Structure 1
């Protein structure tokens, strides 16, 4: 039995550069038996959440962080 029953997960981390999302697949097999291969049915999408670092004031920071939130929401809804 699996602890979590999901085929897709997200790893969201703070990012200042706006990196491209990275898809990481779960492996099956054992390195001990040298039969490791990637599974294509279970993966994690590693996605950065852009944190603004050049804002003129707090209101500007709030506006930029809101835009970052919308970008992340649009990305996640497009993956569903």
Structure 2
């Protein structure tokens, strides 16, 4: 199984674009990386997003709207 761990800024179009592009490579699933402490907090990436449950839910919905493969979220402690 090949899992693509993806991280993007807080932007619906950006998330959906990366999902569509990476999905075409034949990966089996997506891991939404909401836990990386080095995820450019000034752009609300990685753990900066994971600390906000509303943002995690919203981004996950954006991704699930276009993903044709399984999606799960990697959360920050």
Q: When the two structures are superposed, what TM-score results if normalisation uses the length of structure 1?
A: 0.30
Is the radius of gyration larger for structure 1 or structure 2? 1
Structure having greater relative contact order (Cα 8 Å, sep ≥ 6)? 2
Q: When the two structures are superposed, what TM-score results if normalisation uses the length of structure 2?
A: 0.31
* Greater share of strand: 1
